[in-house]
Amino acid sequence: MTEKRLTTKQLAKRLNVSTRSIRLWRANNNGPKWGRYGARVEYLLTDVEAWEQDRAKAMQEHYSTKQLARLLELSETTIIMWRWQNKGPAYNKAGRRVSYPKESTNKWAEENGYKI
């Protein structure tokens, strides 16, 4: 029995990101495992599911913009503006998703007089 495979377009739709993001992840080895099958790049569904589980676990160690705004008692707009102005805590971006590592964010908050 052959395993189900996803194309780049199908994977992008599943993850709600652009195909460009998928290609960048592939180039930087940040996304799920992939393989070439003929001329096509495809992803085994089992590899995608494993990557999604790892990513979900890693996201538990991060704050979303909304969570960070609530913790700092600021608006989401302020957090977004800080990001644009290279102020505020360090963040990670994967596709459209922005997250703030809890450890470094907590340290930044303490250094800047915010209580989390």
Rounded Cα–Cα distance for residues 23 and 15 (Å) = 13
Cα separation values, 97 from 54, 68, 78, 112, Å? 16, 14, 17, 25
Rounded to 10 deg, the angle between the 8-15 and 45-59 helix axes is 30
| pLDDT tens, per residue, the chain with 116 residues | 678 999 999 999 999 899 999 999 999 888 899 999 889 999 999 999 999 998 888 778 899 999 999 999 999 999 999 999 999 999 988 777 899 999 999 999 999 998 88
Report pTM: 0.60
pLDDT value of residue 97: 83
pLDDT value of residue 79: 95
Rounded Cα–Cα distance for residues 45 and 103 (Å) = 32
Amino acid, res. 63:
Y
